[in-house]
C-alpha cells in the first residue's frame, strides 16, 4: 500500500486481510474464472499480499467457498429461529439467501477443487437446515407441497444467474424475480405487487456491444 494513513504494520496487515477477502468475494462472485491479479487490483494491494496469506488460488477459493457456506447456514438458522408468521419466516429466508448471494459462488466454484473435509461437513449441515426450513413451510401449509428443497436450490441458482451491470441494480432485479417466484410458491396462490422497476430496454441491449 503506497498511501496508508495508519500506523502499525500489524494493523495494516489485518486490514488487508479483510480487504482481500472482500475483493475476492466480489470479484469471484462476478466472475468465477477471474484471474488472481484482478483480486489484487480490486483490493488495491500487490499480488504478493495475496500469496502471503493463501498458498494458492485454490486455497483462497476454498476459504471463500467455506465462508459462503457458513453464511448460508447462518441465514438459514436465523430463519429457523423465526417464530412469527410461517410464510413471512419462509419469505424472509428466501430473501436472505438471495441477499447473501452465496449460491453462485459456492456452486460455481464447487467443481473447481477438491472439497475439504470441513467443506463437506458444512455442505451436509446446510442441506439439513435448508430441509428443515422447507419442511416447516410445507407443514404450516404456506408453501405448495409439490415444490421440494432441491427445487428451492435450483430456484436460487436461477436467480443468481441474473447479472445486470450495477451490483445494486442486480440485487433489485433479483428481488423482483424472487417476488414473482414467491407468488407461485405461496398458498393460497395470489399476485402481489412486484418490487423494483423491470429491466429497461437499454439495460438489456447494453450487452450487445462490449
Partner DNA sequence: TCAGAACGGAATTGTACGTTCCCGTATGAT
Partner DNA sequence: ATCATACGGGAACGTACAATTCCGTTCTGA
Min dist. Cβ of residue 162 to a copy of itself (A): 6
CB atoms within 10 A of CB 50: 20
Pick the binder of DNA from 48, 111, 205, 209 (CB under 7 A). 48
Pick from 44, 66, 92, 115: which binds DNA (CB under 7 A)? 44
CA-CA distances (angstroms) from residue 161 to 70, 78, 110?
A: 21, 25, 16
User: For residue 138, what is its C-alpha cell?
Assistant: 410445507
114 binds, among a copy of itself, DNA, none (CB under 5 to 8 A by kind): a copy of itself
Alpha-carbon distance of 102 to 157, in angstroms, equals 10
73 in Cβ contact with 82 (< 8 Å): no
Q: Of the ranges 51-59, 88-96, 141-149, 164-172, which one interacts with DNA (CB under 7 A)? A: 51-59
Q: Which of 45, 107, 110, 164 binds DNA (CB under 7 A)?
A: 45
* Nearest approach, Cβ of residue 44 and DNA (Å): 6
| Concatenated DSSP letters of 20-78 | HHHHHHHHHHH-TT--HHHHHHHHTS-HHHHHHH-SSHHHHHHHHHHHHHHHHHHHHHH
**Helix, strand, coil shares of the chain as percentages rounded to 5?**
70, 0, 30
Query: How many Å apart are CA 34 and CA 28, to the nearest integer?
Result: 6
For residues 159-198, which are near a copy of itself according to CB under 8 A?
Answer: 159, 161-162, 173, 176-177, 180-185, 187, 189-191, 193-194, 198
We find the least distance from the C-beta atom of residue 32 to DNA, in angstroms, to be 10
User: If you count them, how many residues does the chain have?
Assistant: 210
Does 9 help bind DNA (rule: CB under 7 A)?
yes
Residues near 12 by beta carbon (within 8 Å), at least 6 away in sequence: 1, 4, 6
Q: Is 209 in the site for a copy of itself (CB under 8 A)?
A: yes
| Residues paired with residue 143 on neighbouring β-strands, in sequence order | 186
The window from 29-37, 132-140, 167-175, 186-194 that contacts DNA (CB under 7 A) reads 29-37
Task: Report the residue from 30, 147, 169, 171 that binds a copy of itself according to the rule CB under 8 A.
Answer: 147
By CB under 8 A, tell whether 21 contacts a copy of itself: no
Chain positions contacting a copy of itself, by CB under 8 A: 107, 110-111, 114-115, 120, 123, 127, 144, 146-148, 150-151, 153-155, 157-159, 161-162, 173, 176-177, 180-185, 187, 189-191, 193-194, 198-201, 203-205, 207-210
Amino acid at each position: 500500500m503506497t498511501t496508508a494513513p495508519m500506523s502499525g504494520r500489524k494493523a495494516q496487515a489485518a486490514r488487508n486481510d479483510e480487504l482481500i477477502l472482500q475483493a475476492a468475494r466480489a470479484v469471484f462472485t462476478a466472475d468465477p474464472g477471474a484471474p488472481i491479479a484482478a483480486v489484487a487490483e480490486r483490493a488495491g494491494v500487490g499480488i504478493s499480499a495475496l500469496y502471503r496469506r493463501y498458498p494458492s488460488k485454490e486455497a483462497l477459493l476454498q476459504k471463500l467457498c467455506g465462508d459462503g457456506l457458513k453464511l448460508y447456514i447462518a441465514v438459514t438458522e436465523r430463519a429457523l429461529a423465526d417464530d412469527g408468521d410461517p410464510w413471512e419466516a419462509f419469505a424472509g429466508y428466501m430473501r436472505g439467501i438471495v441477499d447473501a448471494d452465496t449460491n453462485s459462488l459456492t456452486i460455481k466454484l464447487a467443481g473447481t477443487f477438491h472439497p475439504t473435509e470441513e467443506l463437506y461437513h458444512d455442505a451436509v449441515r446446510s442441506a439439513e437446515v435448508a430441509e428443515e426450513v422447507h419442511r416447516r413451510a410445507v407443514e404450516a401449509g404456506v408453501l405448495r407441497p409439490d415444490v421440494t428443497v432441491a427445487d428451492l436450490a435450483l430456484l436460487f441458482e436461477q436467480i443468481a444467474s441474473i447479472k445486470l451491470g450495477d451490483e445494486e441494480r442486480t440485487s433489485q432485479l433479483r428481488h423482483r424475480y424472487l417476488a414473482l417466484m414467491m407468488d407461485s410458491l405461496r398458498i393460497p396462490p395470489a399476485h402481489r405487487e412486484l418490487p423494483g422497476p423491470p429491466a429497461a430496454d437499454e439495460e438489456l441491449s447494453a450487452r450487445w456491444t462490449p
